Chains A and B, each alone.
Chain A
Amino acid sequence: MLADLINLQQQLKDDSSLSESERHRRDREIAKRFRGKLRDFTGQLRYWLCAVCGDKTESNGHRADLARRLIGLVLLVLGMLTGWGAAMALFDYDGTDPVNVVNILAILVLAQIMLLLLFAFAILPGGLVRRVPGARTLQAVIGLLNPGHLQSLLARLLAQRHREALSGWLGWGKAHSTLFGRVHKWMGLLWSQQFAVAFNLGALIGCVHLIIFSDLAFGWSTTLNVEGAFFHRIVSSLALPWASWFQEAVPSRELVEGSKYFRFKQGVGIQTPEDLKMQAQFLGGWWSFLLACLFTYGLLPRLVTLALAWWRLRAAIDFALLHVPGAVQLLNRMNQAMVETQATEPEVRARQVLVPRPRMSPQGLVGGPGYVVNWAGLAMEQDVIQDLLWQQLALETKALLNAGGSASLDEDQRTIARLSKTPNNQPIVLLVKSWEPPLLEFLDFVQDLRLAIGPRRILRVVPVGLADDASATPQDFEVWRNKLTTLGDPWVEVQALYRT
């Protein structure tokens, strides 16, 4: 139980080294195998833990849980011994004064009822306690009486690995008291109730042992001025829970009246051996009442509080289990379908090709005649193109040819053939759509053209944009310039149209 909590928190922390998709895939697979109820989230978490960690008995959680149980066991033994010792002391009878019933009732009944009330106060919920002034302080003081505090002392008896696992978790839990405060509280109370049950059991066994193996005489005596009738009313009230079905354990008026003794009288008025025998039987009549009291007001309530502490501890652990950092996300991964849309393999990036970047032709643009190729069907009228080139590049268009776009490859070749026959000193301007990327198809054309016209004739590539003045955006111009540079041809130049 506690092991699950510690192991879960540890496992979720270890899990952070995995990617989200790795975790989701694994957790979803585990969830598919879970056969419990759909909304049994703690069950799911435990199943997950079992699936991920297996049955590791050497985990921190198991060590801490074992330590917890060992401490509980030691407290049980201690409780038994204390209870046995208390019974021996209270039922001590050396044949002089009878065993005083008042003492037994005060220690084994009244004090236990008082402790039960304190226990009830200690388990009041925090929200309620906060509203009552001073209640929190009182609760803290009551906490100090808890025999569960012996755990730090008892832990020293444990093996080092168990002791360290438990103290490690207790320290961590204190630091995260919002989440583990209730677990701590109920673990302490469980230990205290284990001790209390064992105490009552020890007392009961001690009592039975003395009753069976020795000859006890009971009486009652007090310095206070208490009449037999009043004391009878008290014991009758105490015997109410079993009065209807266990009459033998209800002291009669005669027994109460007859068993009152005064110390200075040296006994309870025993005169002869017959009297002695009769009186011994008569005074022994208290034992069944005392055993019933011990069972009803000692052991029984403590069994109930032990069960309550166990139940609340389990609930606190379940609650903490659901709220350990990462548990909500884990449940989400288990219960939500894993939707993956991303690529399964990394992207292969285009290899950066290193090319010579020769300095471009130093000639710049000079006015004069030249040939123009409209690549890919730039949607401009012929005269508009001519005007634009004249205005911006002082180019006198001798011929406007088409290539690329919807033109056929044969048309491209015809254009190349025609340009190869033009004078070598006249530039060729290639008008391209700046918004379209430079394709290999265009580079093929430029290379074919270069082969046809020779190596030292200027080819100017002019990206035309969609703006009113036909200028290209700086980004588009850069794309074209960079791409054409990869040709490594110093006589190919990318020319920008200036903005008007």
Chain B
Amino acid sequence: MSPPEFAVVGHPNKGKSSIVSTLACDDSVQVAPTPGTTVICRRFPMRVDGETLYILIDTPGFQRARRVLAWMKQREGDASKRHQVVRQFVTAHHNSGQFSDECELLTPLVEGAGILYVIDGSRPYGGEYEAEMEILRWTGQPSMALINLIGSGDHIEGWKAALGQYFKIVRVFNALTAEFDKRLELLRAFGQLKEEWREPLDKAVASLEADRANRRLLSARAIAEMLVDMLAFKVSKRLASEGDAKVYETQLMNQYRDKLRMREQECRDAVQAIYDYHSLQREESAFKLVDQDLFSEHTWSFWGLSTTQLLATGAVSGAVLGTGADVALGGASLMAGAVLGSVIGGTSAWFSAKRIAHVRLFGIPLGGKEARVGPSRNPNFPYVVLGRALFHHACVASRTHARRDALILGEMAELTSTKAIPNELRRRLERSFVQARRGAGSGKAFRLVDELTDAIGTAIGEHGLA
């Protein structure tokens, strides 16, 4: 059995290509305000391991619907012959040039494609749509009307009343803001159009859900790798004398920060690629909040932990270190290490909260000194980085491929802030951060990445931080 096909049809400039772009996760689709951008049908097969489950077809819009309908009415027989008249129309005008758009959009319909009729619910209904809806009815194909919302107006009710006369199923679907779940819901609705289409559509939905979960996991790994790299990162320079430390301090600090910024950028690129955004780079200025400098004061106060959380987190890392001492003493310390560690950790977290890293001097065995910046001991640092990464991920994951505009940042920023991470999860993260700061040796860094991937995956998946 051939896979179900769905032709997205309608008036020009009502968001057909946007809907296709969103459902196919394809940002290569040309979405423009100029009518007639789509001139020939473009197919978007949904394939799982090479098996095509359904095909979306982007079509040009109706340009001369009344003339087409007039031609058909002249040849009208009884209702059972109408779909043949549509076929005759396509055959008769295929190469005429006068109805090239109509022939192009009707061809998949006469070949059995389902109809997804798209209108813009932000603009009022008008009589000019009736001819095209009538033509679609003549095709006799299973159909559904989608009310897309391009502008800010609300004419949905008027549209529903009109569409209800031509289509059994009428749904509102905003191509620009549709969450992933809404997209799946729509696909399930496609399956309701025809009994034999249900199975492949259900299978497609299940595959898309699994694929989404996998993308989340890959993103979590990219973020975890970045965190481990950034936490252990340091730059150093050999000095001829101790006095040179002052000379190179600014240079070293800038080098340290630049490298970290670059690493963060790499992670963002990776996450965008995971979600198939290949041209988003050019629009990155849209990420205003995320684009603020990693080291700006605003960034730290926005993304970092609160003072209370910092104290608690510092206590956890201190306790982790203290417990190590307890273990080394075979428990003879009666867990005093853990208690003392948590007190010291909490206190040092309080005092070092505003300093990312500083230049330190080390002696070199064969003489001379080495100035070193990093790894950052600031307890807030990984949370700032993580918060920004989670937010960036949330922006990318929730964005539809139809969007060509800047990102709108709303409440999501608060949701993805690390302040919203539940205590238990934060404790898990902190344990890994402590290990990473120590500079994980051979092999351990990779286990840390695995642990952090797991924790970040939980933050993204279960706690809805993205």
Contact = CB atoms under 8 A, between A and B. Distances in A.
Interface of A: 20, 25, 28, 32, 126-127, 130-131, 177-179, 181-182, 319, 323, 328-329, 332, 336-351, 376-377, 379, 404-409, 433, 435-441, 444, 466, 475, 479, 482-483
A32 B446 CA distance: 28
Closest 5 A/B residue pairs (Cβ): A406-B127, A437-B35, A181-B442, A440-B63, A405-B127
Interface centre among B23, B47, B48, B128 (most CB of A within 10 A): B128
Given A179-B442, A376-B128, A347 B42 contact: yes
A274 B323 CA distance: 74
Interface string B29-71: 1100111111110111111111000000000011111110010
A164 B446 CA distance: 29
A319 B446 CA distance: 9
B210 interface: yes
A337 B128 contact: no
A440 B61 CA distance: 11
Contacts of A436: 11, 123, 126, 128
B443 interface: yes
B76 to A, nearest CB: 15
Given A28-B49, A405-B127, A479 B42 contact: no
A323 B128 contact: no
6 contacts: A341-B44, A348-B40, A405-B126, A405-B128, A407-B127, A409-B66
Given A20-B273, A181-B442, A376-B127, A479 B34 contact: yes
Given A337-B207, A342-B25, A406-B130, 5 more contacts: A130-B441, A181-B442, A338-B49, A404-B66, A436-B123
Interface string B98-121: 000100000000000000000000
Contact of B45 (A20, A130, A340): A340
Interface string B233-250: 000000000000000000
Contacts of B66: 404, 408-409, 441
B64 A336 contact: no
Interface in B323-339: 324, 328
B221 interface: yes
B124 interface: yes
B218 interface: yes
Contacts of B64: 439-441, 444
Nearest to A351: B39
A437 B210 CA distance: 40
Contact of B218 (A126, A329, A344): A329
A341 B65 contact: no
Contacts of A351: 39
Given A182-B442, A336-B214, A342-B28, A441 B65 contact: yes
Interface string B351-382: 00000000000000000000000000000000
A340 B46 contact: yes
Contacts of A332: 214, 218
A271 B124 CA distance: 131
Interface in B197-252: 207-208, 210-211, 214, 218, 221
A344 B24 CA distance: 11
A403 B314 CA distance: 75
A260 B65 CA distance: 120
B45 A441 contact: no
Given A332-B214, A439-B12, A440-B63, A342 B26 contact: yes
Interface centre among B130, B276, B442, B445 (most CB of A within 10 A): B442
Contacts of B443: 178, 181-182, 319
Contacts of B35: 437-439, 479, 483
A338 to B, nearest CB: 5
Interface string B430-466: 0000000000111111100000000000000000000
Task: Give the bracket for the number of chain B residues in contact with chain A.
Answer: 35 or more
Nearest to A181: B442
A407 B67 CA distance: 11
A475 B49 CA distance: 43
Contact of A343 (B13, B28, B441, B444): B28
Interface centre among A341, A346, A351, A479 (most CB of B within 10 A): A341
Contact of B441 (A20, A127, A338): A127
A339 B28 contact: no
B67 A441 contact: yes
B12 A437 contact: yes
Interface of B: 11-13, 23-26, 28-30, 33-40, 42-50, 61-67, 70, 101, 123-124, 126-128, 130-131, 151, 153, 207-208, 210-211, 214, 218, 221, 273, 276, 324, 328, 440-446
B25 A341 contact: yes
Nearest to A476: B33
B24 A342 contact: yes
A436 B324 CA distance: 71
Contacts of B214: 332, 336
A20 to B, nearest CB: 7
A350 B37 contact: yes
Given A131-B328, A435-B123, A438-B35, A349 B30 contact: yes
A305 B26 CA distance: 57
A32 B48 CA distance: 13
A433 B127 CA distance: 12
B206 to A, nearest CB: 10
Contact of A342 (B30, B276, B442): B276
A179 to B, nearest CB: 7
A437 B13 contact: yes
A319 B449 CA distance: 14
A287 to B, nearest CB: 46
B446 A323 contact: yes
Contacts of A319: 443, 446
A406 to B, nearest CB: 3
Contact of B33 (A338, A340, A376, A479): A479
Nearest to B63: A440
Contacts of A441: 63-67
A319 B208 CA distance: 31
Contacts of B67: 409, 441, 444
Given A377-B128, A409-B66, A436-B126, A337 B210 contact: yes
A406 B429 CA distance: 64
A339 B207 contact: yes
Nearest to A376: B128
B48 A339 contact: yes
Given A177-B442, A182-B442, A437-B35, A336 B211 contact: yes
Contacts of A179: 442, 446
A406 B70 CA distance: 12
B457 to A, nearest CB: 13
B39 A350 contact: yes
A342 B218 contact: no
Nearest to B440: A178
A127 B218 CA distance: 29
A306 to B, nearest CB: 22
A340 B43 contact: no
Nearest to B24: A341
Given A376-B126, A439-B63, A344 B13 contact: no
A182 B66 CA distance: 76
Contact of A345 (B13, B42, B440): B42
Nearest to A32: B49
A16 to B, nearest CB: 12
B432 to A, nearest CB: 15
Nearest to A412: B66
Given A436-B11, A475-B33, A339 B211 contact: yes
Nearest to B210: A337
Contacts of A339: 46-48, 207-208, 210-211
A78 B82 CA distance: 93
B386 to A, nearest CB: 20
Contacts of A345: 42-43
Nearest to A21: B276
Contact of A344 (B12, B25, B43, B276): B43
